[in-house]
Amino acid sequence: MAVQLQRPPAAVVFLCVLTCGLSIPDPGQREALMQLEASMQTGGQVVLTDAERQLDALLFKMKQEETARTDFPPAMHFFRARDLIRTSPIFGLLQKMPKGGALHVHDFSMVDAEWLVKNATYRPHCYMCCTDSRSVRFIFSSQQPKPLPRCSSWVLLENLRDKMINATDLDNSILRNLTLFTDQDPEAVYPSQDEVWDRFEDKFLALWGLVTYALVFRDYYYQGLTQFYTDNVMYLELRALLPEVYELDGSTHNRVWALKTYQDITRQFMATHSGFFGTRIIVTIHRGVNASVMTEAVEEAMKLKKDFPDFMAGFDMVGREDRGRPLWYFRDALSLPVESGLPLPFFFHAGETDLEGTEVDQNLLDALLLNTSRIGHGFALLHHPVAKDLSRKRGVAVEVCPISNQVLKLVKDLRNHPAAVLMSENHPVVISSDDPGMFGTSGLSYDFYEAFVGLGGIKSHIGSLKQLAMNSIRYSSLTSEQQNKAMAEWQRRWNKFVSENVF
């Protein structure tokens, strides 16, 4: 549903009057300006009920106390701030809050990495080897697996643990290979964007053999739905590679099987979890491929969209923008849906970079030229006023993932995140968590905390939270009818949340 956002007409009139001549500063005009600015931020036009105003007063007091702290979490690296956030009363309230949908989440990082260690690696037939680069690889097999290049001999984890008095050290070592989160100084462990991205991508290689095993593949997705549902998220749009999934005997399943499995498990989950509105899949491919491979991927995606019209939302590319090929390189392949008349909505990652003026930096404009439905990250949007204006006028929401942008070293202090400006202007934005399993988070509440306390600052209020949650439904890929139903369910939950937390 495209939503056009306009400045309040009164703002234009007032500013014209204000600039007509010089005068002594007027307290009344000052107050009017402050109110005008407040009305233009995310949630500034939301009319609050009496109960919401009471809860807002409580939130404001909490935020004042939080902002006065010397160890202000949004100003710190998330890995150092996580424990502080967990003790925050604001965070506790946000966990209870119905947050609507998470529209930017990746398939193999949606689950807490500890679950992979405690669940997946404890299953029978799980083998592990250690790479030359001091990482690990996994495979499930009914017999001794074939050697893997640049990796040690495969070891059956079940046998290895049986020989240990205490397997905790082993489990902790495995965990460190499956997540970026560290108890050490994150600035020292990840001193540059190149370093953190190299480690980030290696973590995915480490967990690949675990999550592409058919039994784990199913359970991992179900666990992901459970963790988001527990965090009061009622809807997901999942970016999924649809990998080749394997069985214990080495036989494999294709992408159609993977998509159908996601659909079946979603239906199963919805049947047993009241109020969960479902999942839609955004099929992805790595942006490092060449033009011919991209053409094949788009053609396959168009067919999948035709075969799964209500479950598949669209198409995107994944991988580091700075090292991948720009969207313009793939323009012929990405024009195929329009040329063929087969709809394939795009949800492009664009602007996840600080390399201003480079070819990759043009991805924001190219994404809009290709009629993207939303913009993933959009960190560079403030450097592109034309793209920013088009995004606003077309109602193309920016999927803001604050913790991801900080961990991957685009911004240090989240108060300086470009989305702080977008929120001050009520630009269409949604908040999401990108790769929670990689960042030591779960669900959506941590990113909502950083957005509310860090990006929004002291000015953001309960109306901002309400608007962000509603945006996640309004800018979803759901049909208008589905959005109306989802909004009604969300509103019911919101009213209950407010009434239960007004003291």
Query: Which among 66, 321, 352, 399 is annotated as catalytic?
Result: 352
Give the pLDDT score at 1: 43
Run of H or E including 317: strand 312-318
The per-type count for the chain, helices as H runs and strands as E runs, is 23, 13
Give the pLDDT score at 437: 98
43 contact partners, CB below 8 Å, separation of at least 6: 426, 460, 461, 462, 463, 464, 465, 466, 467, 468
Give the pLDDT score at 125: 98
376 bridge partner residues: 349, 399
- The DSSP bridge pattern shows strands 101-106 and 235-240 to be parallel
Smallest CA-to-CA distance from 256 within 294, 211, 308, 297 is with 308
- Strands (E) in 147-299, as ranges, are 155-156, 235-240, 245-246, 252-253, 278-286
pLDDT (tens place) for every residue of the chain, 503 residues total: 444 444 555 555 455 555 555 678 889 899 999 899 988 999 999 999 999 999 999 999 999 999 999 999 999 999 999 999 999 999 999 999 999 999 999 999 999 999 999 999 999 999 999 999 999 999 999 999 999 999 999 999 999 999 998 899 999 999 999 999 999 999 999 999 999 999 999 999 999 999 999 999 999 999 999 999 999 999 999 999 999 999 999 999 999 999 999 999 999 999 999 999 999 999 999 999 999 999 999 999 999 999 999 999 999 999 999 999 999 999 999 999 999 999 999 999 999 999 998 889 999 999 999 999 999 999 999 999 999 999 999 999 999 999 999 999 999 999 999 999 999 999 999 999 999 999 999 999 999 999 999 999 999 999 999 999 999 999 999 999 999 999 999 999 999 999 999 97
- Which burial class, exposed, middle or buried, applies to 312 when counting CB atoms under 10 A from its CB (0-12, 13-18, 19+)? buried
Smallest CA-to-CA distance from 237 within 313, 306, 288 is with 313
- Which burial class, exposed, middle or buried, applies to 193 when counting CB atoms under 10 A from its CB (0-12, 13-18, 19+)? middle
Q: Are 376 and 106 in contact (CB under 8 A)?
A: no
Residue 348 one-letter amino acid: F
In the CATH hierarchy, which fold is given to the domain comprising 79-109+220-499?
Answer: TIM Barrel (3.20.20)
Q: Are 204 and 198 in contact (CB under 8 A)?
A: no
- Strands (E) in 56-135, as ranges, are 101-106, 126-130
C-alpha span between 144 and 127 (Å, rounded): 8
For residue 434, the SS3 value is: strand
Number of Cα atoms under 13 Å in the Cβ half of residue 483: 15
Specify whether 247 is catalytic: no
Task: Provide the greatest CA pair distance for the chain.
Answer: 86
Domain-by-domain residue ranges, the chain? 79-109+220-499, 114-200
Count of CB atoms situated within 10 Å of the CB of 141 = 19
316 bridge partner residues: 284
CA angle 136, 138, 143 (to 5 degrees): 135
Give the pLDDT score at 23: 72
- For tokens 């492009």, name the residue: 348
In this structure, what are the phi and psi dihedrals at residue 171, rounded to the nearest 5 degrees? -60, -40
Give the pLDDT score at 17: 52
Q: Are 405 and 429 in contact (CB under 8 A)?
A: no
Specify whether 125 is catalytic: no
C-alpha span between 230 and 304 (Å, rounded): 30
Run of H or E including 398: strand 397-400
Query: Which among 77, 104, 349, 377 is annotated as catalytic?
Result: 377
C-alpha span between 329 and 337 (Å, rounded): 16
